[in-house]
Every structure is written in C-alpha cells, then in structure tokens.
Structure 1
Amino acid sequence: MPAAYKRLDVDNCVFLFVDHQASNLLLSSGLIQLVHDFEPNQFHTNVLGLAKMAQYYNAPAILTSSFETGPNGPIVKEIPETLPKAPIIRRPGQINAMDNEDFAAAVTATGKQQVIISGVLTEICVAFPALTLIEKGYDVFVVTDASGTFAEHTREAAHKRMVQAGCQLLNWAAVSAELQRDWRRDVAGYSKIWTNHVPGYWCLLQSYQAKEAAQK
C-alpha cells in the first residue's frame, strides 16, 4: 500500500528552533560561523521566514541553546524577538536537546504530535533530537533550509539518516504552504511573508496587485 500522506496541521504542530547561536544571524560568531552550506544572507532569510510563519500561525514554538557559557554563543536575538512568547531552554551541556529534561518536558507539554524542527548543526543539533522524537512516536518534519552545517555532503548524509528513520524533509516555504492549505485564507498576510523572504516573489505580488487594482 502507498504511504499515507501526513499533512502538517496548524492545530497539531510545534516549531523547535535548536541551537541557532550567534550574536545575530548575519555575523560569523558562535555556532552559526560553522554554517557553510548556505550563504549568510540566504540562511538569515530562511530562518526568519520560518520564525515569522510560526508567529503568523500562532503556533507553539520552543527555542533552545547549547552551552551558552562556552564558545557556542547565545541564541540569535532575531528569533526570540519574532517569537516573544516562546520559552527558551538554555541547556547547560547536553548535545541532544531531548536529553535535557526541561526541553523534553516543554515539547510534551504542548500536546502536539507534529514537530517542525530546524537548527545548527544539521547532523547533530537537528538529527539527534529528530531521531529521538521519531523513536517516541512523533511525526517529525525537518526544515532543510533553516538548518545549516559544514558542507553539502555532511548535510546530505544527515538527511539520509533522518529520512531512513522516518523524518520528512521540507523547506520553510513548503512548511508554510502545507499549513496554509489555501491562498484565499489570507492573501495579504500570507503573501507579505513570502514577499519579504522568498526572493523575487514581490514581482508576482506586484502583478497580482496591479490586476486587482485594474478590476476595481
């Protein structure tokens, strides 16, 4: 039998942002300086696009950082600024976020079955909790372009490992579209995020707005 299509459900998902650590998303300090499979501006756009979608859908989100007192640096300020209601779990040392009791409890407390996860580094900070969550029975959706690592080949190895375990891979735009389901729910609000975070989409929006204006 064909595999069941498990659609993301806005009422049954939680966003996890794991170890996006630096003084900000564009500066090469903290863990983010190890991200080389995306250009800094591109990574900045992707991560903030995902965070703004979590905000737009008013979905629960949990932020976590690893060993802030060491070389990894603090969680980037843009994410908690976008998601001010999201708890921040500052792990003292656990590499797998799910090994931290406070983080694991925060995930459980949401009552959500679908986990949308992104982070730095992909093969460690994303893969380890993703595999643990799969083992615990969650549906796990890995946001590939809001997660970064050393190089494309290490990213691909991590993706294969997670897919074999049952994770689904999506980019942040696909996450947003699967949650939105229908453009007509909110053309202005939804398209505004795409305009700001999908390069070139503003051209499509301008054409649409010109057509709408002409019909009035």
Structure 2
Amino acid sequence: MKNKNIIITGTSRGIGLELALKFANEGHQVLAISRKTSKILIENPNVTCLPIDVSITEELQQVEKFVINSWQNTVDVVIHNAGSLVNKPFEQITPADFEQVYKVNVFAVAELTRICIPYLSKGSHVVTISSMGGVQGSSKFPGLAAYSSSKGAVITLSELLAEEYKEQQIAFNVLALGAVNTEMLQEAFPGYEAPLSAKEMAEYIWNFALTGNKFYNGKVLQVSSSTP
C-alpha cells in the first residue's frame, strides 16, 4: 500500500493521538490538528502539527494552505475525530453550550470536509467518528443532549455527502463508537471503566480508514462492545 496523506482532528489525546502515531509509524504523512500539540507528535518526522481550533472557521483555512504547499493538492483520508462534550441536565444547558458543541462536532466537520473536497480524488475516504449516543434507537443518557444530538447530526451529514459525491468515488462513512477508555468518556461517565483502550480503538479505525471505503459508502458502523 502506498503511503498516503492523512488529516486527523483532535490529536492531542486519546484516540486521535493514537491514530496519528499509528499512521505516522506505518509511513504515512499525517496532518495532526488540535488546539494543543502533543510533544510525541512533534518529534515524529511523518507528522505535521497544526495547532488550531476547529470551531473557528478562519483557522481551518490553514489546512488548505498546507495541502497546497506541502502535499501537492492531494488528500487521501480525512478522519473527523475532534469532539466537544457538555454533561449537564438539559435545563442547565445554555444556548452557548449547544453552540460550542455543534461548532466542534458538526460545523467543523462540514467546513473541513468542504475545504478538502477539491483535493480528494477517486478512492479517498472521509471517516467521521460519531457515538452510539447519536444512533437512532440506541440507549440515551441524561446530561448528553447537546453531545448526542450533535453526533446524530454528523451521521445524517455523512450519509448525504456519500450520495452527493458518489460519482467522484469519494467514500463517506461513520463509525459510531461505544465505550472507550478516554478522558472524554470520564467526562460523560465518571468512574466508568470501559473494556477498550484508546490504542485498541485506534487500531480498528486505522484499518477501516485505509480499507473500509472498498466495502462501504454512506454507512454507519456501530463499533461497540459495550455502552455504560
């Protein structure tokens, strides 16, 4: 398999960090996007760290400049992994809370995809990391109204984009994750011990990002051995 150009958001910790390391250590070129930059990524010769806030549209324009100047206008895989979570009773969630969660979990996904579309060619794959909480008919949990509804929104967005860009043979798929031992899981479910580590889930996502587009387009795969 030839080395590919991979964009990953939310790479400062957890699954995103493990994903960036996995792709880079396998020889792929990685653009790691997060507000905070991990030292271990900076030291990896196959990783370029872009310390931006994905919720700010103007900052996302730096991605296009990088792709043009450093990757000769080519992106092979985009993994929308960045996430924002508010855990509050619904009556305490403010409009500002909702807006911030949607800026990161929905609007940034749409904008970064829009930026990358001209540079995605036949066989490219856009993978959005959602949550079981965003899947219709799944178990829902109090306090996660903003988060889970945003994760439902990107599922529908991905399905629509798969249809819109199927002629260009750009695949759009969603992985709806269950419980994984990350800091974000602890924010949602303090004290809960998930059976999967961030590194284990990153291994799965890595393989799916490189091969899943051969088998799926416009699909939502539930990657969940457990939910709290």
TM-score (norm 2): 0.46
Higher strand share: 2
Q: Which protein has the larger Cα radius of gyration, Structure 1 or Structure 2?
A: 1
TM-score (norm 1): 0.48
